[in-house]
Structure 1
Amino acid sequence: MENELKRFDVAQLAHVEMFTPNPDGTLWFFKEILGMTEVDREGQSVYLRSYEDFYHHSLKITERNEPGLGHVSWRASSKNALERRVKDLEKSGAGKGWIDGDLGHGAAYQFVTPDNHNMEILWDVDYYQAPESECTLLKNRPQKRPTRGVPVRRIDHVNLLSSNVTANKKFMMSDLGFNLREHVVKNDGSEIGTWLSVSPLVHELAFMGDQGTPEPGLGRLHHIAFWYGFPQHLHDLSEILTENEIQIEAGPLKHGVSQAMCMYVFEPGGNRIELFGDSGYLIFDPDWKPVKWEEGELEKAIIYYGAPLPDSYFKRGTPFVKSPAAANK
């Protein structure tokens, strides 16, 4: 019974905090290009949300001297579920302790993955209340569709770089109840990448082997993904990004893993953002068997169709890691 409860104790991805050394440029990108709404500001942080995100915010942008991940926040399915997950996190030694809360949510328990990615789990949240000018006739949507840029609809997932993909996967499954949905396995049995979720989404969290550094524990971010909707939206974004000289790293392309049609770009602060959507599938089968891609199938797992991914996709993450030669100068 305990293991069954664990599978449902984490409900969803609540929000992600991202660091940027260029807050003005980063905010311009998310607000004017991706059409996100600014909700609040406090200190060096700005709180944003997409127009179909129901909570106070889904993205917290904080000014720092280099880009990277602040933290990933998960919402528990109840107060009791939160207490159960905290007990397991404390037993595992991954727990850092409680914070009183932040704008948009109440008390949260902070913890780290084996690779030192900062995370938190919480229950009490504030729901977005649109001002009268943004109220929509759709009672099942929190606000009108914005008219700036090509607005993304919701936060979708986060992808983290890891020195040991399997160790991080096992931690999220054993301590938080995540389900393994797909993985790429090398001939020696080690995992190149894992895609996990707690909901019917094919993934809310992915771990990729960090080819950019052999050092463990750096807590590096690969990308944050936002759901854009349908292929025409992606093509519209491609044109707007090109006109505004935003670097498109890869795409549009279609992944084998997740089946999503997507594109990867670098926002002005240096973090990689994925625009994700179209045909990514949902999982309703309670007895789902993880999809296993063999090493020889890696090419189709990553690119079902589209141009090959550049080398930077596998090696670049934030914060940046200097090469040994550069570090010795």
Structure 2
Amino acid sequence: MLLRSLLWLPGAVLILVVLLDLLASSMQTGEGRLTRLIHRPLYAAVQALARLTERRSLLAWSGSVLMVGTLTAWVLLSWLGWSLVFWTRPGALVGASTGTPADFWDVLYFVGYTMPTLGLGDLKPVYIGWRLLTDLTALDGFVLITFAISFIVPVAQAQAGRRILALRIHRLGGTAQGLVTTAWYDHPHGLQGLVDDLAVSLNALDAQLKNTPGLYRFHDRRHEESLEISLPALDEALSLIEHALDAPPPRGLRAVRASISSLLDTYRYVHPGTPASPPPLPDLTPLRAAGLPLRGGAEVERAFAALTDRRRVLLDMTRRGGFHWSQVEQVEDCVYPDPGRGITRTAGPRRA
């Protein structure tokens, strides 16, 4: 009996934990601790299943699994918390018509229909204090529903923003060498146009992912919509522009690189740890074949050696998305002038 009289304490803790997590996750202040605890095992299970079955398409379900898992955990923990509170005192709830004290399953049933404010009325609290707690239970259920909606909507918007940016990068060239070559020959404003086109989108995405970092556990089915391959390709392209091309860098390049660095910092918060080895150095052959002015190979190697830690994070991002680094570097179909012959030359893709 003494133990039962103290059950209100763990019940109150469960209710408070859920409310604090709701505030942290729904007010766009980052990822609540409870949400993070829910996401990690669910995400690991989706990743393991995708590896076991060798079906990358399963990763596209990660977002749905995480969202449903989070909402289910919030509801069940709040439900259990309020049930423990009402179970603390025998006879706090009785049958409305019979006056029979409710057992634990009756209490679960009562809390279950009170939280969504259904108010069926076949059970009722006896004393004024328990009646007030019934009101608080209904209010908590209303808050839970409201904040769950405010949690889902920004996540959906940020996920759409990720896809828009990934598609834009894909259409600007898709891969590292493809982005550089396309910008050099086909963009109306050259390399400067590539930087200008993406600067605002990267800043907006950086802000969204700082508010909802759990999106780094979401994946898309199609590679052209996947940030896990487009962002590494873009950063590798910007590294080539800055360190491999023998040409003045476009204005704003450092600012764009800083935005990507901020995105990678958020990624490291969600996925700590990186591969032991960095990805291979980029193949400059497609750029050389396209007639772009390049610096010496040794100079490029030294510059990319200084980017080892950054490129390890990008490699980890690519692998978590179910891709290979070769897909980051491959040259998409593109047509560019052959400076030696004055005709066009096409570089074909080698996509896996």
TM-score (norm. length: structure 2): 0.24
TM-score (norm. length: structure 1): 0.25
Q: Which has the higher strand share?
A: 1
Q: Which has the higher helix share?
A: 2
